[in-house]
Amino acid sequence: MIVGAAGGIGGFLPVIMGIAKESTGSSYQMGFATFGVLATCAFGALSLLRAR
C-alpha cells in the first residue's frame, strides 16, 4: 500500500522540479522546497483529521 502511494508522487515530483528549475533558472532547490512545504501541509491536514 505504501509503495502505491509513493508511486503516485512519482508523476508529481518531476513536474514541480522542472517548473521550479525553468522559472528560477538555477538548481532544483526551489522544487525540493515546494515539495517539502506541500508534504508538511498534507501531514498537518492528516494529523488534524485524525485527531477528530
Question: What pLDDT sits at residue 1?
Answer: 47
| Contacts of 20 by beta carbon, 8 Å cutoff, 6+ apart | 28, 29, 30, 31, 34
The residue range of the domain holding 9 is: 2-51
Q: What's the structural domain count of the chain? A: 1
Q: Cα–Cα distance between 17 and 21 in angstroms, integer? A: 6
Predicted TM-score of the model (pTM): 0.58
What pLDDT does residue 19 have?
79
Q: What is the pLDDT of residues 1-52, one digit of tens each?
A: 455 565 666 667 777 777 778 887 777 787 778 778 888 999 999 999 987 7
Q: Rounded CA gap, 20 and 29, in Å?
A: 8
C-alpha angle with apex 35: 10 to 48, nearest 5 degrees?
105
Number of other residues whose CB lies within 10 A of the CB of residue 16: 18
